[in-house]
Structure 1
């Protein structure tokens, strides 16, 4: 574990931001796919809304402990996931 403690904090923060943005890209791809697909969504409400609360928790955790990588990337993830929720709910109303 000594190796981890020798790495500067700003390197961890920068790496965390990059990793978090990569995760946001995955969510953005799902939002795009769901938006473009002309048909009912196969995503459950528990899945799409559950992730909003998970991302919100980690966003607040990052704010509480002043961890930029956590609050920034999870705030972006919340916005993307809310967009996904909106699309899924809209499609449910449209196709049922």
Structure 2
């Protein structure tokens, strides 16, 4: 059974992860990433990977799931930034 604090973590992580979906969709549809900062997303991606490693270390399902998804979404934005130059 998932502890109450993990449910809170899943909710918080789910909301913050979901906030990336509109940006990924907009960038994909417009084929423009001019307004995105490559440096910001590269640093953010590294931070998310470190949070994922931390989540694995402390065995937090919320951190593992949400940071995995956020890593993919931020990597997509990095790809779009490089692709749509």
TM-score, structure 1 normalization = 0.80
Q: Flag structure 1 segments of 5+ consecutive residues without an equivalent.
A: 1-8
Tell me, in whole angstroms, the C-alpha distance in 2 between the residues paired with 1:40 and 1:59. 26
CA RMSD of aligned residues (A): 1.5
Are residue 26 (structure 1) and residue 19 (structure 2) matched? yes
Tell me, in whole angstroms, the C-alpha distance in 2 between the residues paired with 1:65 and 1:52. 20
Q: Could you tell me whether the CA contact under 8 Å between 1:24 and 1:76 is conserved in 2?
A: yes
Structure showing greater radius of gyration is 1
1:5-84 equivalences under 5 Å are 10-84=3-77
Counting matched residue pairs gives 84
Q: Flag structure 2 segments of 5+ consecutive residues without an equivalent.
A: none
- In terms of fraction of residues, the more helix-rich structure is 1
Between the two structures, name the one with larger relative contact order (CA 8 Å, sep ≥ 6): 2
TM-score, structure 2 normalization = 0.89
Q: Could you tell me whether the CA contact under 8 Å between 1:34 and 1:41 is conserved in 2?
A: no
